[in-house]
Amino acid sequence: MQRRSFLKSAGVATFLIAGGGVWRAVEQGVFSVGAGPAYQPWVTWRTGHLDGLVPLVRAALLAASPHNTQPWLFTVSETAIELYLDPARSVGALDPYLREAHIGMGCALENLIVAAVPRGTSFRLTLVPGKLGPVPAQAKPALVARVEIARCIQELTDLYDAIPRRHTNRGPFFPQRQVPGPFLDALGGLAGEETDIRLVLLTAEADRKRIVELSSAANLELYSDPEVLRDHDRWLRLSWSEVQEHRDGLTVDAFGLPPLMAGLAKMMPARMLRRAVLSGSKSGYADLMSSAPLIGIIAVRDRYDREQCLKAGRLWQRAHLLATVHGLAGRPCNEAVEMIDREKALGKPARQAGLLAGITGGAAWEPTFVFTMGYPQRAALASPRRPLEQTVL
């Protein structure tokens, strides 16, 4: 079946090129994967202006964020960096309380901290307490964390070297290739002595099947919601010019498609490609998630506590960097938790929260982030990144 599909795709590609599609291919970046200004931060994060604390911000810019919204802003002084969340850079109905945006801020914070000691600096971290709620219409950027910096002995780390190689992998894993025990032990210890956050690792087939079924059902329900679809579409960057202009969002190159299929997708008219993206996100979700030999759940005491959201983001970023060091890949599969937010925002009964409670050890632990990990069948490509100048106040 895969061979027939490949030959069929190759025939279509040949027809397109022979029919004058080369110009369209060039225009849509088919031959320019990972190139252009939108991808320069991945290359230049350790070059250019290296004095002061700016290099730490360059590392933070390469962190994960929901739908690659990059909701961060920074202020930089001689001795401290402050992180602000920009509420305008959210996925709207999919994240009505900015819970996932705060997790993204935690990811940026972890990259910044991971980069500190290799840059010869130590840090003192202060998280801004608060409770998440509905977002006001005219909400302004809000301070979420402050990192005070002092000089120390420079010490290189594997996690630091993994920063530019960590990418979200939306392709399939090798399902029969199990995650090594020593890695599982290291991953399970990342939460340390924290009392308000824990990491649940699911490797048994029955446990993974249960969360796959919940996540797949939530995915179908969410992406049948017109309001969610509208806010999701806002972050799709389907043309090469959009990628280079906005330098954020979800791109064809980051969908996890085989190279030939990705090239063909870029050649599609925008309306057709949007329909294909929606159809693919519904039909293939369970299969992709099921291919992962490891599913993880980050749970907290209160998923709407700001500090705990930031800690969850730090934990996910560190876990993803650790996976990268060990040749593993990871991706968020967070629709089951997003469904909790959606039900809460619409005033519906908390059905989804009840379904997940049995997996994380009861109501005392609230899941806030679900992810998959394994050995990837294809390497992940970088996502675009906004430049330093657009993120430093």
Is residue 242 domain-shared with residue 173, that is, in the same domain? yes
How many domains does the chain fold into?
3
Q: Exposed, middle or buried, 186 (CB in 10 Å: 0-12/13-18/19+)?
A: middle
In a domain, 174, yes or no: yes
88 in any annotated domain: yes
Residues 105 and 245 in one domain: no
1 assigned to some structural domain: yes
For the chain, 393 residues long, give each residue's pLDDT as a single digit of tens. 343 343 344 444 444 444 556 656 666 666 667 889 999 999 999 876 556 789 999 999 999 999 999 999 999 998 999 999 999 999 999 999 999 999 999 999 999 999 988 877 778 899 999 999 999 888 899 999 999 988 776 777 899 999 999 999 999 999 999 999 999 999 999 998 899 999 999 999 999 999 999 999 999 999 999 999 999 999 999 889 999 999 999 999 988 888 888 777 777 777 777 776 666 666 688 999 999 999 999 999 999 999 999 999 999 999 999 999 999 999 999 999 999 999 999 999 999 988 888 777 677 899 999 999 999 999 999 999 999 999 999
Same domain (yes/no): 197, 235: yes
pLDDT score of 71: 98
Do 173 and 156 share a structural domain?
no
Same domain, residue pair 293 and 318: yes
Q: Is 205 exposed, middle or buried (0-12, 13-18, 19+ CB in 10 A)?
A: exposed
One domain for residues 303 and 183: yes
Say yes or no: 56 and 13 in one domain.
Answer: no
Question: Is the domain of 252 the same as that of 272?
Answer: yes
Q: What is the pLDDT of residue 303?
A: 96
In this structure, is residue 94 part of a structural domain? yes
Residue 13 confidence (pLDDT): 47
280 and 335 housed in the same domain:
yes
What are the CA-CA distances from residue 151 to residues 53, 104, 120, 226 (Å)? Answer: 11, 27, 6, 51
Compute the mean pLDDT over every residue in the chain, rounded to the nearest whole number. Answer: 88
Looking at residue 260, which CATH number applies to its domain?
3.40.109.10
223 and 149 inside one domain? no
Structural domain containing residue 54: 37-163+384-390
Residues written for the chain: 393
pTM of the shown model: 0.92
Q: Are residues 126 and 228 in the same domain?
A: no
For residues 61 and 121, state if they share a domain: yes
Q: Is residue 379 part of a domain?
A: no
> Considering the domain boundaries, does residue 235 fall inside one?
yes
DSSP characters over 227-265: HHHHHHHTTEE-SHHHHHHH--SEEGGGS---HHHHHHH
